[in-house]
Amino acid sequence: MIIDTHNHIYSEAFDEDREAAVERARAAGVGILLMPNVDSATILAMHKVADRYPDMALPMMGLHPCSVNAASWEAELETIKQHLFKPVRKYWAVGEIGIDLYWEKETLDLQIIAFEQQINWAKALDLPIVIHVRDAFDEVFEVVDRYNDDRLRGVFHCFTGTEAQARHIIEYGGFKLGIGGVLTFKNGKIDRFMHVIGIEHLVLETDAPYLAPVPHRGKRNEPAYTKLVSEKLAACYNMSTDELARITTENAAELFRLDLHSYENTDPDHTPFDD
């Protein structure tokens, strides 16, 4: 089984064929879809997909840095807090959160405040964090350096950094690198050093509908393409795709505390992730 640790299968990009996309994922061996939230506007859609596929689509709760703005960031954070601390359902991580200086340079101070607050919530709830970082590794490292301890764990989603940045993340002790379609890009560069990074530090993802891997680059991404990422990553390590899938699935299960034995239950009426 393969786990797509980061996708937006609930987004409008899948409104016309979501059922088919989920079936394609299953056919490709992708058994679990972890869904990060973006902001208050995406919560309902995410919940609907989680309810439609309770044994497969697992929601997170967080405020994306690109949704942090001067007019509404406090109200947005309050909404996120209410869902996390008074849940009507289980959330598997606080995410996606972080800092983005590609799209949103003017809100850095607010992004940092929102990032720090959500890190504290994750610690209080014993949940992993899912970090979005774009053009902001230094800024994100500055925050995580200050907050890192044995209560903090998570994933740097869509890792696109250098080998030195990968090692910085690994040194935190509780973090994994989310590897997606960028691994397959000719100019992605991370494929050049993946083989020197311990595979125990990696999880697979798509970020669907974004960042589709080769040969679908430039088109809509979907969870089924996690298999293409796994094949490329297996080649980096010169191992079989089955072994790569086994290891990265175990990594994801450890990070998000998924019970894979429960998942193997064949009863169609059984929801394997119920508390």
Q: What is the pLDDT of residue 261?
A: 79
Cβ atoms 71, 132 nearer than 8 A: no
CA distance 251 to 99: 25
CA distance 128 to 144: 13
Tally of CA atoms within 13 A in the half-sphere of 26 that contains its CB? 10
Q: What is the pLDDT of residue 264?
A: 57
**pLDDT tens for each residue of 34-93:** 999 999 999 999 999 999 999 999 999 999 999 999 999 999 999 999 999 987 899 999
CA distance 113 to 63: 12
Q: What is the pLDDT of residue 87?
A: 76
* End-to-end Cα, the chain, rounded Å: 22
Q: What is the pLDDT of residue 100?
A: 98
Q: What is the pLDDT of residue 267?
A: 40
Q: What is the pLDDT of residue 21?
A: 98
E-assigned strand segments in 140-193? 154-156, 175-179
Q: Which fold has domain 2-263?
A: TIM Barrel (3.20.20)
pLDDT tens for the 275 residues of the chain, in order? 999 999 999 999 999 999 999 999 999 999 999 999 999 999 999 999 999 999 999 999 999 999 999 999 999 999 999 999 987 899 999 999 999 999 989 999 999 999 999 999 999 999 999 999 999 999 999 999 999 999 999 999 999 999 999 999 999 999 999 999 999 999 999 999 999 999 999 999 999 999 999 999 999 999 999 999 999 999 999 999 999 999 999 999 999 999 987 765 434 333 333 33
Q: Which of 87, 102, 83 is nearest to 38 (CA)?
A: 83
CA distance 27 to 29: 5
Query: Going by C-beta distance under 8 Å and a sequence separation of 6 or more, which residues neighbour residue 77?
Result: 63, 114, 117, 118
pTM score, whole prediction: 0.94
List Cβ<8 Å contacts ≥24 apart for 182-186.
Answer: 182/158, 182/211, 183/213, 183/229, 183/232, 183/233, 183/236, 184/213, 184/214, 184/217, 184/228, 184/229, 184/232, 185/213, 185/214, 185/217, 186/214
Q: What is the pLDDT of residue 260?
A: 87
